[in-house]
Amino acid sequence: MLIYNITIKVEWVIHEAWLKWMLDTHIPEVLGTGCFAKHQFVRLMEIDENDGPTYALQLYAENKKDYERYLQLHAPALNHTAAHLWNDDMVTFATLMQVVH
Beta bridge partners of residue 56, listed in sequence order: 7, 42
CB 4 within 8 A of CB 70: yes
- Grouping H, G, I as helix, E, B as strand and the rest as coil, residue 53 is coil
pLDDT per residue as tens, the chain (101 positions): 999 999 999 999 999 999 999 999 999 999 999 999 999 999 999 999 999 999 999 999 999 999 999 999 999 999 999 999 998 899 999 999 999 99
| CA atoms of 83 and 30, how far apart (whole Å) | 15
Distance of CA 13 to the CA centre of its chain: 19
Top-tier CATH class for 2-98: alpha beta
State the pLDDT at residue 87. 86
Domain boundaries, the chain: 2-98
* Half-sphere exposure of residue 68: CA atoms within 13 angstroms, side-chain side: 3
pTM for this prediction:
0.94
Q: How many Å is the Cα radius of gyration of the chain?
A: 14
